[in-house]
Each structure stands twice: as structure tokens, then as C-alpha cells.
Amino acid sequence: GQQLNQSPQSMFIQEGEDVSMNCTSSSIFNTWLWYKQDPGEGPVLLIALYKAGELTSNGRLTAQFGTTRKDSFLNISASIPSDVGIYFCAGRRTSGTYKYIFGTGTRLKVLA
């Protein structure tokens, strides 16, 4: 199945640093979702974006819906050890389907 390109694939950062990751597609999407998945568990919704250019925050997390509608970005400020996990983006096209396409994931490790 199709997947969205997510970058970077993995990253090691020091506690307290800011983190940026992005998700790109060749197709236009009308909704972007960002999830975090811990090992052996289901993904947990972090932020939902519904309009091009939209910037939404959830605590230390901020996500943006790209103006081209083909990308989205997630930033984590002042990272802490519990931020470790895999972050997935998911996009829904404008074709009226309720299906979401998932990104390849960004694996984040935070060094204390």
C-alpha cells in the first residue's frame, strides 16, 4: 500500500533539545493527523489539522498543515525522555474517502 514519506527516519537527541520532523506527499491531502506510538501499543492521536496553513499546538508539540497541502510538520520543544517513541503522520485525501495513508514513521530517542 501507499505510504507517505517521513523524515528523518530516526533521530537521537539530547534532553531539552527541540525536534522537527516532516511528512511529504505527491498528492494533496485535506486532513493531516500526527500520532505517537509506544512499543507494543496502538498509536495515540497528538494533533489533527484540517486547513492549509493551520498551526496547532498541544503542549510542547506544534504541528502545521503545509500551504501546498502536500506536507505537514511536527515540532517538539524541550524534549524529555518520555518523548521517545515512533511518530507517524497520516493524511486523508480530498476524494471523499475516510481512509488515511500513514507515513513511514520517525523513531525518536532522547538521551538524558
Partner 1 sequence: GAVVSQHPSWVICKSGTSVKIECRSLDFQATTMFWYRQFPKQSLMLMATSNEGSKATYEQGVEKDKFLINHASLTLSTLTVTSAHPEDSSFYICSARDGASTDTQYFGPGTRLTVL
Minimum CB distance to partner 1 smaller for 1 or for 112: 1
d(CA 27, CA 68): 10
Q: At its nearest, how many Å lie between partner 1 and the CB of residue 47? A: 10
Binding site residues, partner 1, CB under 8 A: 1, 3, 31, 33, 35, 40-45, 48, 50, 88, 90, 92, 98-105, 107
Q: At its nearest, how many Å lie between partner 1 and the CB of residue 46? A: 11
For residue 55, CA distances in Å to 1, 10, 40, 68, 101 come to 29, 24, 30, 14, 21
Q: Is 101 helix (H, G, I), strand (E, B) or coil?
A: strand
Q: At its nearest, how many Å lie between partner 1 and the CB of residue 97? A: 8
Minimum CB distance to partner 1 smaller for 73 or for 102: 102
DSSP 5-39: EEE-SEEEEETT--EEEEEE-SS-EEEEEEEEE-T
Q: At its nearest, how many Å lie between partner 1 and the CB of residue 112? A: 23
Minimum CB distance to partner 1 smaller for 16 or for 99: 99
**Closest listed residue to residue 15, CA positions, set 98, 81, 100:** 81
Minimum CB distance to partner 1 smaller for 44 or for 80: 44
